[in-house]
Amino acid sequence: MLKRILLVLSALTLTLFFLSAASAETPASSSILVAYFSATGTTRSVAQKLAEGLHADLYEIVPEEPYTDADLNYNDRGSRTSIETDDPSCRPAIAGELPDLTAYSTILIGYPIWWGDVPRIVSSFVENVDLTGKNIAVFFTSGGSGLGSSMKHLEQQAGAGNWLEGKRFSGHAGTEELTAWARSLGIEP
Ligand SMILES: Cc1cc2nc3c(=O)[nH]c(=O)nc-3n(C[C@H](O)[C@H](O)[C@H](O)COP(=O)(O)O)c2cc1C
């Protein structure tokens, strides 16, 4: 009888061991993070559709001090964004916590083009997270400008990661177009 109880107990222990091992190996909900900054909503819409199509997690880079319409006035050389652009060392503060990137193998970074370059707050982001070993691709929206040196600058500022590509999307880009781009880089949902 005692032998039988011991047998049942050891079988139970083994089952519990394998169950806990299996749950420890369960992958995170997504291994892709879409991180983006958007001042007027265009890049946000693209980022949301991209994350939806890839079943990716979404992180918005939110400025501690929101950009007002006056701040965004590129016709005013004295506006906040003009001043930030003129100062390569400017790193606007990001509100809230930065994401923990440990669980992600791929980070897609989205931003609007400002004066042919990347907004300084996106530099604040790449300089304050650890992109070591991550596959990274950038996507951007603009009034017509191309990538310029924006990705090259981010890559230099991050100093880590495997930077794949940068692509412009219109604010009306659909989920299919966006996921097709990701797939072309070997990034699968
Ligand atoms: C300060 C500022 C500078 C900009 N500079 C450029 C530029 O150099 N080239 C361009 O094509 N569009 C430029 N734009 C337009 C934005 O890139 C475009 O409207 C973008 O889609 C806005 O994205 P968002 O709504 O996510 O902020 C600029 C916009 C702002 C506010």
Q: What is the pLDDT of residues 77-119, one digit of tens each?
A: 999 999 999 999 999 999 999 999 999 999 999 999 999 999 9
- pTM as predicted: 0.87
Alpha-carbon distance of 40 to 3, in angstroms, equals: 71
CA 142 / ligand 1 centre spacing (Å): 5
pLDDT value of position 19: 42
Can you state the angle between helices 175-184 and 42-54, rounded to 10 degrees? 70
3-state secondary structure at position 96:
coil
Question: Ligand 1 centre from 140 Cα, in Å?
Answer: 10
Residue of 46, 27, 28 lying closest to 38 (CA atoms) = 46
Q: Residue of the nearest CA to atom 31 in ligand 1?
A: 72
Which residue minimizes the CA distance to atom 22 of ligand 1? 112
Per-residue pLDDT, 28? 42
Question: What spacing in Å lies between the alpha carbon of 43 and ligand 1's midpoint?
Answer: 10
The pair phi, psi for residue 18, each rounded to 5°, is -65, -35
Question: For the chain, which residues make up each domain, given as ranges?
Answer: 29-184
- 3-class state of residue 164 by DSSP: strand
Separation between Cα atoms, residue 111 and residue 150, nearest integer Å: 10
Q: Which residue among 113, 117, 150 has the greatest number of ligand 1 atoms within 8 angstroms of its CB, and so is best to mutate?
A: 113
Amino acid 112 reads P
Give the pLDDT of residue 9: 45
What sign for the dihedral angle of Cα 157, 55, 38, 112? Answer: positive
**pLDDT given for residue 24 in this prediction:** 39
Distance CA 43, CA 127 (A): 21
| Among 51, 33, 40, 35, CA closest to 142 | 40
Please name the CATH architecture into which domain 29-184 falls.
Answer: 3-Layer(aba) Sandwich (3.40)
In this prediction, residue 102 carries a pLDDT of 96
User: For position 27, what pLDDT does the model report?
Assistant: 39
Please list the pLDDT of the chain residue by residue as tens digits (189 residues).
545 544 444 554 444 444 444 433 333 457 999 999 999 999 999 999 999 999 999 999 999 999 999 999 999 999 999 999 999 999 999 999 999 999 999 999 999 999 999 999 999 999 999 999 999 999 999 999 999 999 999 999 999 999 999 999 999 999 999 999 999 999 988
Q: What is the pLDDT of residue 189?
A: 85
